[in-house]
Structure 1
Amino acid sequence: MMSMLGKNIVFGMGLLILQFSNSVSAQNYQVDLALPDSEPVVGTTKTELVGSMGQDYAAILNADSTISHQIMSSDRAYNGFYRGLFACVSPDSKAYYPEGSGYLDSKSLSKTSWVAVTAAGKPVISDQNVLKDGLKVGLPYEPAALLPVVPQEGMNYEVADNYLTNLKKVAAGRLDVAVLPLSSIDVFLDKDKSLQSAVSYDPDKPLAVVSDAIMCHDSEAGRAVLEKVNTAIQAAGIGSK
């Protein structure tokens, strides 16, 4: 989430579609499962399910070969799902959407911990309410795409979809805090050693933990695919408890 990579591009459009279209009742899907060609899914290949999450998808699809899938760009995967072209999309979670959006989650595949990163020496922030204390907060997505993670009102947010940019702004004092997925923080700090001593965070004190899932439309066809997906997840012996 890095379960949500690329989703923010079309998240706003997805909410707009939900307001004006009953896309969740679509029956004639083009494919059962849309998967974005992001690094956690395909690694560096763009076509093979070899990324950290892609290996789980491969195991699910091997467990049930009747589940059709297609790898595509992130904007096409999520926008197509919002428009009812695909029964399911992943990685995602209904937790990121307003109640009543008409989505269902599969059994949990993994979990994404969202943590607050501050400049070195600053207090650790593990309470969402602390973000309301006049702080300038960096986000990788619009706050509406992070409903369970950050407050939606009375905030001073600055959105930059590049995780490294957010980290560097915290280190330089241009942001008081950045809210990022833990897995991505570790990746970028490993690549840029100079940042390791410039920022601080506590992996054991996340602002929120959200289960990553295969998210499907709450329609007859969507529920049928979801049933197969959940059976395949169990058969493959993957997922988080």
Structure 2
Amino acid sequence: MNKNFIVLHIIVVLTLLICSNGSRADSEYYADLSIPLVEEISLNLDKKFDGYHGKIVKQILDQYPDKISFNLTSPKHAYEAFYKGRYSCVTPDSKSYYDLPNDFVDSTALSSVDWVIVQRKGTKPILSKKDLIGLSVGSFYAPEEIASIVPQEGVVYDVIPNHSTILRKVAARRNDIAILPQVGLTKLIAKREELKDLTFEISPKIATVAEAIMCHDTKRGREIIKLVNQGLKAINKKQP
């Protein structure tokens, strides 16, 4: 077979593969903004934007009905798909959660959240991250997703995407403590009899994080950050 023909054939095949992969990547881009269905967004997890963070997100999105696409979805899907580049942005989140190198950029902060230690009444207070070493800890998020809050070594993490189950395992002594955002915990603990022995008032809060709309540092991500920041300025101007 002629060598020139072989070279030409290889070039054509590679070109087709590149085009194929490019169109596949485009088809796997779900939307601009990934929004996990958590209480910060929707108080009753019913897709209403009535959580303290969700109210602000809704005011921003209402200003750009045709400029920012979004999906409300499960927390696991929302964050995993964002990390894989299926979405340009995710909220609530913050670059400050991550210690590892990343390409993330934050908008101006929309809200802030206290992270607390939930434990059984009568147990010793946890006064520093060092006190977590050797414990089994229930968490909604994988430790690498909240690396600035929790130790990455020396702790056994039980990651469960359900707050009630996390708390029940602490109450049943299957985990020592849980580390969670404070949002909704008082209500959740009060309405379940099996959780009555739990409290988050023994230990000081472990962190307070200003949460934003966090995007990949790409052209589209930066465009969305610009729109979000402009939207926040407009909201703040309207407030007395």
- Shorter-chain TM range is 0.7 to 0.9
Aligned length: 210
User: CA offsets per residue over residues 176-199 of structure 1, 9 Å max, x none?
Assistant: 221121113223113225523x12
Max Rg structure:
2
Corresponding residue number in structure 1 for 2:135: 135
- 1:182-197 pair list within 5 angstroms: 182-193=182-193, 195-196=195-196
Choose between structure 1 and 2 for higher RCO, CA contacts under 8 A separated by at least 6 residues.
Answer: 1
The CA distance in 1 between the partners of 2:99 and 2:52, in whole Å, is: 28
Contact 1:115 1:206 in 2 (8 A): yes
The CA distance in 2 between the partners of 1:65 and 1:203, in whole Å, is: 45
227-236 or 159-168: bigger deviation: 159-168
**2:154 aligned with 1:154:** yes
Corresponding residue number in structure 2 for 1:145: 145
What are structure 1's unaligned runs of at least 5 residues? 1-25
Deviation at 1:118, TM superposition (A): 1.6
The CA distance in 1 between the partners of 2:203 and 2:47, in whole Å, is: 35
- TM-score if structure 2 supplies the norm length? 0.74
SS across alignment from 1:90: strand
Equivalent residue letter for 1:122: T
Corresponding residue number in structure 2 for 1:32: 32
Deviation at 1:79, TM superposition (A): 3.8
- Using a 3 Å threshold, how does the CA distance of structure 1 residues 76 and 178 change in structure 2: closer, same or farther? closer
Contact 1:87 1:216 in 2 (8 A): yes
Corresponding residue number in structure 1 for 2:219: 220
- Deviant stretches of 4+, over 4 Å: 42-48
- TM-score if structure 1 supplies the norm length? 0.74
The CA distance in 1 between the partners of 2:105 and 2:205, in whole Å, is: 25
Corresponding residue number in structure 2 for 1:69: 69
Deviation at 1:119, TM superposition (A): 1.2
- 1:8-19 pair list within 5 angstroms: none
The CA distance in 2 between the partners of 1:135 and 1:199, in whole Å, is: 17
SS across alignment from 1:237: helix
Deviation at 1:103, TM superposition (A): 0.5
User: CA offsets per residue over residues 76-111 of structure 1, 9 Å max, x none?
Assistant: 543443333432221111223344310001111112
**2:118 aligned with 1:117:** yes
Deviation at 1:151, TM superposition (A): 0.5
Q: Percent identity?
A: 35
